[in-house]
Amino acid sequence: MNQPLIAPSILAADFANLQRDVEMINRSEADWFHIDIMDGEFVPNISFGFPVLEAIRQHAQKPLDVHLMIVQPDRYLEQFARAGAATITVHYEACTHLHRTLTRIRELGCRAGVALNLQTPVTALEDIIDAFDQVLVMTINPGFGGQKLVHSSITKVQKMRQLLTQHRSPALIEVDGGVDLDTITSLAQAGADVFVAGTSVFKAADPLQAIQDLKQRPSQTPFI
Ligand code: DX5
Ligand code: ZN
């Protein structure tokens, strides 16, 4: 099993102390910043937009992993690339011409990610398997932090891993929602590479320690 990549979700940070929280992630063993953009239409919640993203970018010293939970994401790809996104992930369910959207993200110099809601089968991506660098398997219904992982999504990660292996795709599998010390091992064993964690990091008594524990947990548990 590879060393897991940990991507703390800024959605759970203290927005009144954003610089402090961003600097904490800089100092931590985390690998990326996960940035959740919600428009109140694709998901029933609004998070934040470009001014906040720019503020994060000014202090962040690790790649920005931008998760767009918005309708018609094509309208904003260029702006997110300019705002410093290393990876831009769009939802399968929000893109009529997904291949075109992912191609555009790569043209803009970013890694292209595609996210699947719980009901979307992994096979929906089979015919465009070369068009993305990362697939985000939602492990909750998107829109809010602090939810419990939907158990069936662990099997879905396994199916995604099989599909990528079958097509020799180097794409990373990212999981998002309800990731904590109790769920990370099964997700890693199922084949996930990147672990988004909001609540389990920022609401922990010691976030730096929480990140370190998440980073080490999968390798501590024997494979069963
Ligand atoms: C929810 C977001 C997640 C969220 C995860 O739609 O995509 O990134 O911040 O939060 P936790 O880790 O609290 O489930
Ligand atoms: Zn997310």
Per-residue pLDDT at 221: 62
Q: How far apart are CA 100 and CA 90, in angstroms?
A: 12
Separation of alpha carbons 102 and 148, rounded Å: 29
Question: What is the Cα–Cα distance from 123 to 28, expressed in whole angstroms?
Answer: 36
Q: Ligand 1 mean position to 11 CA, how many Å? A: 7
CA-nearest residue, atom 4 of ligand 1: 145
**Whether the Cβ atoms of residue 215 and residue 6 lie closer than 8 Å to each other:** yes
Nearest in space to 157 (alpha carbons), one of 143, 136, 182? 136
Confidence (pLDDT) at 191: 98
Q: Say which of 31, 36, 39, 65 is annotated catalytic.
A: 36
Q: Write down the residue that tokens 């029933």 correspond to.
A: 44
Output the pLDDT for position 107.
98
Ligand nearest to the CA of 12: 1
How high is the pLDDT of residue 3? Answer: 85
pLDDT at 76: 98
Mean pLDDT by 10 residues, the chain (224 residues): 91 98 98 98 98 98 98 98 98 98 99 99 98 99 98 98 98 98 98 98 98 91 55
Predicted TM-score (pTM) of this structure: 0.97
φ/ψ (deg, to 5) at 174: -110, 140
Which of the ligands is closest to the CA of residue 66? Answer: 2
Question: Tell me, what's the pLDDT at 222?
Answer: 56
Contact yes or no for 114/135 (Cβ under 8 A): yes
Pocket of ligand 1 (CB under 6 A): 9, 11-12, 34, 36, 67, 140, 142-143, 145-147, 176-179, 196-200
pLDDT at 29: 98
Query: Cα(113) to centroid of ligand 2, in Å?
Result: 12
Domains in the chain: ranges and CATH: 5-220 (3.20.20.70)
Sequence length of the chain is: 224
In the reported structure, the alpha carbon of residue 181 is separated from the centroid of ligand 1 by a whole-number distance in angstroms of 15
In DSSP notation, 111-179 reads EEEEEE-TTS-GGGGGGGGGG-SEEEEESS-TT-SSPPPPTHHHHHHHHHHHHHHHTT--PEEEEESS-
Q: What ligand 1 atom has the least distance to the C-alpha of 149?
A: 14
Instruction: Report CA(134)–ligand 2 centroid distance (Å).
Output: 13
Q: Is 176 a catalytic residue?
A: yes
Does the annotation mark 36 as catalytic?
yes
